[in-house]
Amino acid sequence: MQILQGKKIVLGITGGIAAYKTPELVRRLKDHGADVRVVMTAAAQAFITPLTLQAVSANAVSDSLLDTQAELAMGHIELAKWADFVLIAPATADSIARISCGMANDLLTTICLATSAPIAIAPAMNQQMWHAQITQENINKLISRKVEVFGPGSGAQACGDVGLGRMLDVDELVALTCDFFQPTTKVIQTDLSGQTWVITAGPTREAIDPVRYISNHSSGKMGYAIARAAQLAGAKVKIISGPVNIPTPEGCMKLSVESALQMHQQALKLAKNADVFVACAAVADYRVAEISTQKIKKSADDMQINLVKNPDIVADVAALSSKPFTVGFAAETQNVEHYALDKLKRKNLDMIAANNVALSGQGFNSDDNALTVFSSKTKTDLPLASKRILAEQLVQLISQHYI
């Protein structure tokens, strides 16, 4: 499902180190159906070339207000009228200041003045610059003018500082852009206030030696989307997460784990006080019986690794005396309904969400998915959609069954 199908997005790129992420941002916006036109400031071109952005966007890059050829057709006005959405990423402290003051001394700021399309900025700067009083005044001024502010994120910065100011990751910027055009509706109206949800997400890693491990292709996107939807609906959300490369949804608590045994321990601990437990993680079924303390050197043509079965996290949660409403996931490649119904009954689950990960464009590492959700008495098909939308639908469905 392409949420941005037919949407015309002007991506403004200013002079921050985070500009190196923008080719991927363009590609991901196009994956969702958007037509992207890139506008670069002079400073942005010190970090990334217009040719790169032209190649990934399949459109000419605009970079000058005084381009005589473009201005024959009043290029800055044409772009301003063309846009359905203007996203400035990265948005430096300087660009934020100039836009907030209404300046129009380059192409990007002129477009911001001339467009009737909604504008969003993704701040990117040093943490001290972000916290500076004048920056915050500029941000508040833009917010008062209905400019969307995506971020910033927190973490290590290129200068060595740690704190707020990082541009949000590409995944999150794309999700927020999609949210703008297809905002949450049903889930926000579902009141989960007072409920505690525990959600497992991502893969586990089962060590072989200090440098190798067994894992799978789970990105964690589905679990994190469910966490976000539940939190938006008012629930207190705790994520038990394997190693992933996506940001934690705002307002959710994350406990990071590596192995299935670590996830099992945290799940049993937290599930005792949970109202709803959603086992979305792709947990390794087996672990290495004896982990080598040193790197295993390549020698013989063949080697054997003995594996032992990992505990079944969702089944053990469902067996608790104070059992929460327990939802499992069944990622299958064949006989999806048969295996899902077997797991539902055998593991004493209240609900199970099944998907066919063998199908192209959905499941592991994809932005989209499709689910068939079973309870003991019902079957509900949730057709192919973005994981964000699917998560909202699933949370709505769980809330209807959990009383």
- Catalytic positions, written as ranges: 159
Which ranges of 308-367 would DSSP assign to H, the alpha helix? 313-318, 336-346
d(CA 165, CA 161): 10
Whether 33 and 4 have beta carbons less than 8 Å apart is answered as yes
Distances (CA, A) of 64 to 106, 278, 370: 7, 51, 44
Q: Which residue has the tokens 């941005």?
A: 4
d(CA 11, CA 22): 9
Distances (CA, A) of 197 to 111, 202, 276: 44, 16, 5
Question: Is the sign of the CA dihedral 63, 66, 67, 71 positive or negative?
Answer: positive
Nearest to 225 by CA among 241, 208, 209: 241
d(CA 173, CA 164): 16
Nearest to 283 by CA among 211, 320, 331, 239: 331
Task: Give me the DSSP letters along 306-324.
Answer: -EEEPP-HHHHHHTSTTPP
Which ranges of 83-213 would DSSP assign to H, the alpha helix? 93-100, 107-114, 127-131, 133-144, 170-181, 186-189
Distances (CA, A) of 31 to 4, 56, 171, 264: 9, 11, 12, 36
Nearest to 346 by CA among 380, 308, 319: 319
Whether 102 and 95 have beta carbons less than 8 Å apart is answered as no
Q: Which two tokens stand for residue 165?
A: 């100011």
